[in-house]
Amino acid sequence: MRSVLQSGRALTRLIISSRRTQGGSMMGVQGLCDAGGEVQLSSILRQRFPEASQVEVQDISGGCGAMYEIWVEDKTFKGLSKVKQHRLITQALKAEIQDMHGLRITTSIPEDS
């Protein structure tokens, strides 16, 4: 049993060390930090929702790019369930989400729609 635990720990260390860059940060997270994750995600969302009245992205992980809170207000959400609205957001950010720990999404429809 002890050898199984030790080999499991060794495998975990190997996986973690293989995901590290020379700078010591996780590869995906570092990419978002270096590129200004909030700006990058906001730009992607504004391209996907060009008529959105509000797009806000906030790094809520202390600046490391692991967790974001996103607010999008767009008339294209009208008639869609919250699940479908959130799915549109996650589809737009599909590639970026792979490198995140988590994401909080808030969507709304403009009052004048």
Q: Is residue 85 part of a domain?
A: yes
Q: Is residue 61 part of a domain?
A: yes
Q: Is residue 13 part of a domain?
A: no
Q: Is residue 91 part of a domain?
A: yes
Q: Is residue 66 part of a domain?
A: yes
What range defines the domain where residue 49 resides?
26-108
pLDDT tens for each residue of 66-98: 999 999 999 999 999 999 999 999 999 999 999
Q: Is residue 52 part of a domain?
A: yes
Backbone φ, ψ for residue 20 (5° rounding): -85, 150
Q: How would you class 15 by CB atoms within 10 Å of its CB: exposed for 0-12, middle for 13-18, buried for 19 or more?
A: exposed
Q: Which portions of the chain are predicted below pLDDT 70?
A: 1-35
CATH number for 32: 3.30.300.90
- The domain tally of the chain equals 1
